[in-house]
Structure 1
Amino acid sequence: MLHSTSPAPFSPFFFFSRHSVDGNIRSVTDKSDQSIVDPTKVIQLSWKPRAFLYKGFMSAAECDHVVKMAKDKLQKSMVADNESGKSVLSNIRTSSGMFLSKGQDEVINRIEERIAAWTFLPKENGEAIQVLRYEFGEKYEPHYDYFHDKYNQALGGHRIATVLMYLSDVVKGGETVFPSSEDTTVKDDSWSDCAKKGIAVKPRKGDALLFYSLHPDATPDESSLHGGCPVIEGEKWSATKWIHVLPFGKPKKEGCADENEKCGEWAAYGECDKNPSYMVGTQEWPGACRKSCKVC
């Protein structure tokens, strides 16, 4: 654990400017009214891979706010194809999820600022936050967060780091595990079998896991292989922020085309209105199904 014994010359707290907020968001931010990063709450889990756990990174109200924003916009989760870089359905990943927009509201912006302060990585290098729900038996098989395809690498280089925020407690299962890591800890029966090999983290509401997918020399770290264990009892909500080595952004689109062959089907089911962040996007961040949504 990291400690600071004196407030001078170094303070363990990083402060951001205050913001006034209105409506429902006020209840989320009244308690603090400032974004604070406290290194004394960070636990170093492993050096291979480099992994750190921040206890209480988000407040319960912030967690509930993010879940509420995502709950009615979930779709089956996809994975990036290693060759084309396109998003495809796979049994490797069985959760449901959606993407928030960067800085979507005061709370999301505050969380993104806090992530940047903790990781010392610029906000603009991060992808939009992805919110995920795992129900009974759902999981994410061990995988890497760095890319194999050239398409995704062109958006901002490799993913250098991942911040995984736990938005709910889970009765049993749902741990994040690094199966290639060395761990001599003897785990009791409160851990699922999936989590007993390698460094593992139980999902606890408000905690956040930071791990690096690249070595300090920017080469891929194979020990960063990680997975989400099946949920055995309860429900798991999480939010992921992937951070790249360079500012992250989509290439400028030429013409009017869909990025996914299912765009027409999704549009017919009303997803242009239900999930506009992904389907339509914005002028700065064009969506994946603009043609089917008839916005170009």
Structure 2
Amino acid sequence: MTTTSTAITPELRAWIVAQAEAGFPPEDVLAAMRSSGWPEDTAIEAMETTLTEHLQAKGKPIPGRALPEPPMDEAATTLVVGGHEVKVLMSMTLPRVVVFGGLLTDAECDELIELSRPRLVRSETVINETGGSEVNTARTSDGMFFNRAEYPLCQRIEQRIAELVRWPEVNGEGLQVLRYRPGAEYKPHHDYFDPIHPGTPTILSRGGQRVGTLVMYLNTPTRGGATTFPDVGLEVAPVKGNAVFFSYHAPHVATKTLHGGAPVLEGEKWVATKWLREREFI
């Protein structure tokens, strides 16, 4: 195998699986990739995602894969985080989805909207070829990003989320606030970054793969605007203060985390999104 490209191709994935099935240890496979010109970070990511997908396709467990997860071992209906009570309204295993009630107070929702309003611009999506971003017709909202802990409110919410899903604060991207006007939507998509795209290594260099998403509803639109999961026929109503959390153990469609924002039919929809990375986000 010889290459100078960093694109994780189907041929590379097949080669990695073949080496694993032949019994070669991971460190030998990694060394072979490095000697063929692959950057170490890209080689590690290629091995991890390829072998994860391979194990899942065979119905085998994925060893050592930590994910954000609420403390629901005893089927709790109420969780207390930082003195704040959060209701568990719904839970699914595949996809891993949990709907929370009252994650944010009405006052927190209103303040977050007002802090974000002056900085709203047309939302963008990732450019797979470069790792940059651009305006896309699939996403017709306005949005902005806060830096992590930019305001006391942001820090309080981030601490609450970290405790709720048991994931380090530093592994989270800054909060993103989005406004959907009547007719605006976000067509179904995945939040993970597909390793097959050439721009993915650039994105992953800031904190590794995304492994979880939390969408918080900052208001209740008059009609429409549900968060949809087409693979499983699930729709989560956008109710002020509530939130939907979902995680994905691999960048693969088998996680069934395809989701979208249905068109707003009347009124506006405001949401705040928190994406969680596998390592510290920089």
Asked whether the two chains share a fold, i.e. TM above 0.5, the reply is yes
Following superposition, the deviation at residue 219 of structure 1 comes to 5.1
Superposed CA deviations along residues 243-264 of structure 1, whole A, max 9, x for unmatched, are 0011111xxxxxxxxxxxxxxx
Correspondence for 1:152: 203
Instruction: Write out aligned runs for 1:238-257 (5 A).
Output: 238-249=271-282
Instruction: Write out aligned runs for 1:82-231 (5 A).
Output: 82-148=128-194, 149-181=200-232, 198-212=233-247, 214-215=248-249, 218=250, 220=252, 221-231=254-264
Following superposition, the deviation at residue 164 of structure 1 comes to 0.4
Q: Distance in 1 between matches of 2:79 and 2:147?
A: 30
Q: Secondary structure at the match of 1:88?
A: strand
Is the 8 Å Cα contact of residues 102 and 128 (structure 1) preserved in structure 2? Answer: yes
Correspondence for 2:80: 13
- Structure 1 residues 12 and 204: alpha-carbon distance in aligned structure 2, compared to 1, 3 A threshold: closer
Superposed CA deviations along residues 4-62 of structure 1, whole A, max 9, x for unmatched, are 7xxxxxx95343xxxxxxxxxxxxxxxxxxx5254xx1133322210001101000000
% same residue? 40
Q: Secondary structure at the match of 2:274?
A: strand
Q: Distance in 2 between matches of 1:43 and 1:59?
A: 16
Amino acid across the alignment from 2:281: F
- Structure 1 residues 137 and 110: alpha-carbon distance in aligned structure 2, compared to 1, 3 A threshold: same
Structure 2: 5+ residue stretches without partners: 1-71, 195-199
Following superposition, the deviation at residue 171 of structure 1 comes to 1.0
Amino acid across the alignment from 1:166: Y
Q: Distance in 2 between matches of 1:219 and 1:77?
A: 23
Following superposition, the deviation at residue 81 of structure 1 comes to 1.1
Work out the number of aligned pairs and report it. Answer: 203
Q: Secondary structure at the match of 1:127?
A: coil
Amino acid across the alignment from 1:154: S
Correspondence for 2:58: none
Correspondence for 2:61: none
Instruction: Write out aligned runs for 1:56-71 (5 A).
Output: 56-71=102-117
Correspondence for 2:44: none
- Structure 1 residues 140 and 219: alpha-carbon distance in aligned structure 2, compared to 1, 3 A threshold: closer
Amino acid across the alignment from 1:3: A
Q: Secondary structure at the match of 2:228?
A: strand
More helix by share: 2
Superposed CA deviations along residues 121-144 of structure 1, whole A, max 9, x for unmatched, are 100000000000000100000000
Amino acid across the alignment from 1:111: I
Question: Which residue, 53, 70, 84 being the options, matches 1:36?
Answer: 84
Q: Distance in 1 between matches of 2:130 and 2:255?
A: 21
Is the 8 Å Cα contact of residues 228 and 260 (structure 2) preserved in structure 1? Answer: yes
Following superposition, the deviation at residue 232 of structure 1 comes to 0.3
Is the 8 Å Cα contact of residues 165 and 207 (structure 1) preserved in structure 2? Answer: yes
Q: Distance in 2 between matches of 1:129 and 1:70?
A: 10
**Structure 1 vs Structure 2 CA RMSD:** 1.7
Following superposition, the deviation at residue 222 of structure 1 comes to 4.0
Q: Distance in 2 between matches of 1:120 and 1:152?
A: 24
Amino acid across the alignment from 2:80: F
Is the 8 Å Cα contact of residues 101 and 129 (structure 1) preserved in structure 2? Answer: yes
Is the 8 Å Cα contact of residues 45 and 199 (structure 1) preserved in structure 2? Answer: no
Q: Distance in 2 between matches of 1:124 and 1:74?
A: 24
- Structure 1 residues 12 and 127: alpha-carbon distance in aligned structure 2, compared to 1, 3 A threshold: closer
Q: Distance in 2 between matches of 1:165 and 1:136?
A: 19
